[in-house]
Chain A
């Protein structure tokens, strides 16, 4: 069974701090990884994608991928109350398939 695992949280951080969200995956064939943000009752929206080992930065967000350790993380710098949401990690389908595997999500609370 291919899985993506996340700590469900909630992860509470003070405003202005760095929030660190982590995800592990079991399918070594996964080619791509995505972080989606989902507000309560809303649909997920993509905030970061990463395909290669290392770091990828976009504004206040940094995604990190370590394929040897099968580990993906998302760092949110200068956290704001508006960042409070559930963050879903997803592994892209193994090459040739279209099945994205989602984790259960980590709920982030940024305290003002």
Chain B
């Protein structure tokens, strides 16, 4: 089955620790995205990538980093510089055309210990 796989489903971060959230898609989509969702809030864009080895900052990129070494993979690292990382993180992908819908992964809930 085609889709987007995020792992882990739940993740806990200790003070000063970097953690990496995984996102893999087998839909052959060119564009991939990372969103953050806080309770009662909409989705805010962290980073997006249109092609391999290229990515752009979204609205809230500070304290996060990404890589896009393969078309199907777009991991997100939450660094120790992100002081309030507790949130629901969603990875998404789409075809390159901007009229196309987003396909979402199942999400990762990140909490601070």
Contact = CB atoms under 8 A, between A and B. Distances in A.
Interface residues of B, number: 26
Interface string B56-99: 00100000000000000000000000000000101000101011
A43 B35 CA distance: 11
Contact of A49 (B31, B43, B101): B101
Contact of B104 (A45, A49, A95): A45
Interface in A76-107: 88, 90, 92-100, 102-105
Contacts, number: 60
Contact of A43 (B40, B98, B100, B105): B105
A8 interface: yes
Q: Which 10 A-B pairs have CB atoms at the shortest separation, nearest pair first?
A: A43-B104, A102-B42, A104-B42, A102-B43, A32-B99, A93-B98, A46-B101, A43-B107, A43-B106, A103-B42
Interface of A: 4, 8, 31-32, 34, 41-46, 49, 51, 88, 90, 92-100, 102-105
Interface of B: 31, 33, 35, 40-45, 48, 50, 58, 88, 90, 94, 96, 98-102, 104-107, 109
